[in-house]
């Protein structure tokens, strides 16, 4: 699948990456549309001190569910979805300072 990767400050490209699998509790979405938001631009221009390179950007998108992992309820392949998948790990520096 294609992904927009920022390899370093002002060094970005559309690359080919292996498609992920839907793990338990997850869904796999075929992206239909994606946006470039302000935080993506800050990453591209090196203005986000929390980013480690390389980074695949584009966290605001819509698409169609193509696979559902074990334990997912109320969603099925073919469902259209709109996503903002900003997931906090709770352990990294930005998480620890509430960002």
Q: Greater confidence, 59 or 15? A: 15
How confident is the model over 32-82, as pLDDT tens digits? Answer: 998 888 889 999 999 998 899 999 988 889 999 999 999 999 999 999 999
Over 80: is that where the pLDDT of 87 sits? no
Predicted pLDDT of residue 17? 96
pLDDT of residue 63: 96
The pLDDT value recorded for residue 50 is: 84
Closest CA to 14 of 28, 39, 34: 34
pLDDT of residue 10: 97
Question: Could you state, in order of their start, the residue ranges of all structural domains in the chain?
Answer: 2-96
Residues in the chain: 99
Q: Is the separation of the CB atoms in 83 and 29 below 8 Å?
A: yes
Choose the CATH number for 2-96 among 1.25.40.340, 1.10.10.10, 3.90.180.10, 3.50.30.50. Answer: 3.90.180.10
> What average pLDDT score do residues 72-97 get?
88
Name every residue whose Cβ is closer than 8 Å to that of residue 95 and which is 6 or more positions away in sequence: 88, 89
């Amino acid at each position: 699948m294609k992904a927009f990767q920022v390899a370093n400050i002002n060094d970005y490209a559309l690359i080919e990456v292996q498609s992920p699998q839907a793990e338990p509790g997850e869904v796999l979405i075929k992206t239909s549309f994606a946006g470039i938001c302000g935080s993506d631009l800050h990453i591209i221009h090196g203005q986000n001190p929390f980013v480690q390179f390389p980074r695949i950007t584009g966290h605001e998108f819509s698409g169609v569910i193509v696979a559902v992992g074990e334990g997912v309820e109320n969603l099925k392949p073919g469902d259209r979805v709109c996503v903002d998948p900003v997931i906090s790990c709770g352990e990294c520096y930005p998480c620890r300072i509430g960002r």
